[in-house]
Structure formats: C-alpha cells, structure tokens
Structure 1
Amino acid sequence: MPLHVPPAPAPALRSVLTALSSPTAVREARTPSLLAAQGPLTPELPLPVHVLDATTPEGVTATRLTGWRFLIRSGDRAVAAADTMPTPDGWAFSRFFEGPYIASTERALRQAETLGQPYQARLLSIPGLYMLALWLHGDRTADPAGGHPDAGDLLVPLAPAPPGVAAHRLHRVAELLPVLTHRVRPAQLLRSPAA
C-alpha cells in the first residue's frame, strides 16, 4: 500500500470515541447524517491537519499542526467527520461536521492509493483561500505532527476548491504553493483552518 495514514494520538481517538458514544454530543452536533445513521459509527482514516502559516522568500513553507480529523463511517461510507484539537492536557474532541469535504477527502485518498510512490497522508488548510488539500508527504516515516511541505510533495485540492484551482488534480508543492501564497495576503494566512 503506497499510502500511509499515520496513527492518531490515542487520546485524540479516545475523545472521538467518547463523543460518538454520547447521544448528547451527536444530537447537539446537528449533523443529520449522524442522527440518521443506522448501526455503529466508526472513526477511520485519521489525518493530521496542518495550517499554512507563511512562505518565506526562499520558498520554505511554515505549517503548524492544528488537530486530527477522523472520517466517521456508517456501513460502507463516510457520513461525517470529527475534529480533535490540542489542549494543554493533550487532545480533545472539537466538533462533528458534514459537507462536501467528506466525499472529496475519500475521493482524494482513493486517488492517492493509485499512485506508484509511497506517501504519508495529511491535510493542509490554506485559510486565506478557504482551501483544504490532501497533502501527500514524501517521507512516510516522518512525524505527522511536524515538518513542512517539501518541493516534491503532492497536493490534491479538495472540492470545493477556490476559483482557478482544479479540485482533485495532483500538483507538486513547488508548483502550486507559490501560486496560492501570492493570492493570499500574509494576514489572511494566520486565520483558523478551513473545515
């Protein structure tokens, strides 16, 4: 399997499992697909979510880990997602949500599975463009909480993508990030990650 989905920190997974087992948490999430789901709900495919902070003139891109995202599966499909966030005490459940990024993430992961090279799967949020991309990091053994996009890494923009960016098209970081960062004012890069 060329695609490596790194294991999430155990406390992050536990926080999602606890939220899924709480009828109050699921009901208050107001996600119709979770409320209507029949049978067990399973958190799968944990992906570290990094936010793009800045790109230096030398082309080095700074990112920071902002959480882990789990796809929530009911039967044979993902019906929602759950986000966790770091806290001073470890990891905590943040929220459930649904929408187009769920199916788009699954599609991008299937796309990545067909590539002949090994990659570590991550998510990269570019808040100033309201953009989320599957980040295929070339070092499968890297710490999923650290690092930055390398020139040879791949990005797969998720749908909906911003105007002028084709969703589900593979792009080398060296080609796509300079274009994106020129479209975003530096202050916009510091906003919270996209959903």
Structure 2
Amino acid sequence: MPLSLAVAGLLTGWALIAAVGAQNAYLLRQGIVRRHVGPLVALCALSDVVLILAAVLGIGALVEAWPPFLQVARWGGGAFLVAYGLLAARRALREEESLRAATTADRGLGPALATMAALTWLNPHLYLDMVVLGAIANSHGPGDRWWYYAGLVVASVTWFTALGYGSGRLQPLFARPRAWQVLDALIAVVMVSLGVGLVLGG
C-alpha cells in the first residue's frame, strides 16, 4: 500500500510538472547553454518540496480563504510572463541578439535565480495545483499521505534534474543561430500565452 501510494504520487507529479510552462521553458534554455543549471534545478525542486509540504499540512486552505493573494499573483505573474515573452520575441526577430544572449555570460547567478523564482512563485496555477495535491494526499489519511508526498517530491527532483542536465545534450544543435531564434520564438509564444491567459482567465 505505501509503495503504491508513492508510485501514484510520482506519476501525478510527473504529469503536472512535465506540462510545458514558463518554468520549464526557462530551465530548458539555461540547460542548453549549461549555465547555472545546478542552482536552478535545486531552486525548482526545493520550491516544490516546500509548497507541496505546505499543501499536505493544510496551509493551502489559506490560499482559498484569502482570494486577494491569487489576484496579486495573477496580475504580477501575468505581467512578468508577458514582459519576458516580449523580450524572447525580440531576440527571435534579431539573429545577432538571440545568439549573443545564448553565448555571452550576460546573466549572473543572482539574476538567473531571481528570474526562476519569479516564474515559479508568481504562478497562481502552481498554488491551485498545490491545493489539489494537498487534498489528494490528505485523503489517504494522516500516515499514508507522506508516502504520496514522497512520490511527488521524487517526481519533482527527477524531472527538473533530467530537464536541466539533459537539455545540455542539445547544445550541438544550437550551434546555429537559427536554432536559437526558433527556441526564442517558441518561448515567446509560451510565455505570452500563459501571461495573457493569467490576466484574462481569472
């Protein structure tokens, strides 16, 4: 029974985390150039560990009880995603700018972590997912819920590690400027779509 709950948590976690989103898109781009991958993977995984733990402990009820929190996250996150998407679109339209952004060390660890933190913590969908996951985990009882939580944590750690370090294998493909333009165009579409969806979707 405990093992089956852990496996269920693992599969549920992969299904939620693997969806194309702003967090994954940013980690993919950083992973391709192999810049700050370890700290970014750690930040993503640790954020999930903390947020899911809070959800399992029932803190997610506070999110539901204080709607202004989600409103702040919706507008702040939406504006940030649109702005980031527009920057990616600008790079996609200018070959030299797209390649320069990929090959020069113009982004230190601090700004990279700040960007990833914003993409992670300003996403209201993340908090809604945590509320759902907390409810599912707690449906298994006070003891068994921790097995489900363990599966979710393993899913987060393995996914972000695989994406961050695995994307580095795509580096030969991105030796061409055109490949960076295509990636930036896709990132722009993802970011702007998510941002607009947050603002208009309520």
- State TM-score, norm by structure 1: 0.26
Higher strand share: 1
Higher helix share: 2
Radius of gyration: which is bigger? Answer: 2
- TM-score by length of structure 2 reads 0.25
